[in-house]
Chains A and B, each alone.
Chain A
Amino acid sequence: MSIRKSRDWFSPDYQEQERDKGVGHGLHPLDEYLRKDRIPHIWCPGCGLGVILNAYLRALKDSDIPPEDTAVVSGIGCSGRAAGYVDVDSFHVTHGRAIPFATGLKVGNRDLTTTVFSGDGDLFAIGGNHFIHAARRNVDFNVICVNNFNYGMTGGQAGPTTPSDAETSTTPWGGFEQPFNLPAVAAGSGAVYVARWTTYHVEELIKSLEEALEKKGFCFIEVMSPCPTGYGRKVGLKTGKKTMKHFKENSEINHDADPTEVALDPEDPDSKIVVGKFVDRDAPTYQDERGRVFEKARERMGVE
């Protein structure tokens, strides 16, 4: 066996070689949705992003939506890399701005089934303002928030969903801020579909994604995900499988839960991670309403 020197793993030539290989492309049933020369992806062993992407592509494949009418938009971060792997029109934009970009895309072309695939920091810190307004407007696209409780790509800094006492690279003495309860933020802003799952709940996640793809309006799905490299190893969840086990043993499904009451409470050893589909209602979308008002305006002006 020839032993590659460690620096060879990162030389541009090696990267190019690896890129063009497209390991086993065409073998897996979802490979038709993956860009050939981008797999294996960059996510760490034990990261949950691949599970979520797997579920999303499965839901997409099982839906009737043609790939050429699909668009994926991501922000910056590990979750943000998802757009680069999906073989549809995909957009990897600036930090926090995936949602307004997706708004432009969807309102510009109503036939595009648009999904925003991004992380907790991207969507709720820098992108927080855009999130609540898009939910308020009820623009017709889906937002998948991969909540791994930290800023993973940049090395494990604390974020808006990091549990308050957790040790991270920017809270080395422990944290002192309260994290967001994401389903509450989404429901409170007006999202018509709000669900939370973990990467352990793949079956339910796939079903939720199928529902969200079908549903008209702003649909939000939070998916809790392991991040052993950035976050987990500092809080006793050193591997992906340990985090998955933690999700399995500490969660309960409750579709009737009030989104404002599903905040995580790590201090209480008996508290559970409440998952489920909390909100599923119907409301006119942004485009429905705009269409209605503009139609009336045209009547008043006497034009077509």
Chain B
Amino acid sequence: MTKKEKEEDADQKCWQVETKSKEGSVCVITERCKGCEFCIDFCPVGALEQSEETTEKGYHPPKMTEGCVLCGKCEKICPEFAIHLKEKGEEKESVEEDDEDEERGEWI
């Protein structure tokens, strides 16, 4: 993701990175993250780690690795409302994902 595109498209951005699995998905609203790492530290199965990406403000948001059991601890412990679960089949309106996400493909 190039920073330049982020600026041009400011109105449309929602900065949600969604990682899907069989039972549901975990979504990170990256631009809200302030890199506190609570979700990473307190995930009971260690399924999150800090990513190399940086947000506009310079924080490193979390990214999924593997083993997530969709317990929801990260959603509850996040102070920034930046990470949440989605049940399988839950349709969210107006989710516009960055086109470049599709280039990377799904992570699980």
Contacts and interface: CB of A to CB of B under 8 A. Distances in A.
Q: A and B touching (C-beta < 8 Å)? A: yes
Interface of A: 1-2, 21, 23-24, 26-31, 34, 39-41, 43-51, 53-55, 58, 199-200, 202-203, 206, 239-241, 244-245
Interface of A is mostly: loop
A14 to B, nearest CB: 12
B68 interface: no
Contacts of A203: 76
A1 B59 CA distance: 16
A21 B31 CA distance: 11
28 contacts: A1-B2, A2-B4, A21-B10, A23-B31, A24-B15, A24-B29, A26-B92, A26-B94, A27-B27, A27-B29, A27-B95, A28-B29, A29-B75, A31-B81, A40-B32, A40-B34, A44-B34, A45-B34, A45-B59, A46-B34, A51-B38, A51-B79, A54-B81, A200-B42, A203-B76, A239-B36, A240-B38, A241-B41
Contacts of B36: 45-46, 239-241
Nearest to A26: B94
Interface string B16-48: 100000000001010110111110011000000
- Across the A-B interface, the 10 shortest Cβ-Cβ residue pairs: A50-B79, A1-B3, A45-B34, A24-B29, A202-B76, A24-B14, A46-B36, A28-B81, A51-B79, A23-B31
B28 to A, nearest CB: 10
Given A30-B81, A241-B37, A241-B38, A58 B32 contact: no
B7 interface: yes
Contacts of A51: 38, 77-79
B56 to A, nearest CB: 9
B79 A47 contact: yes
B93 interface: yes
Contacts of B78: 50-51, 54
A244 B42 contact: yes
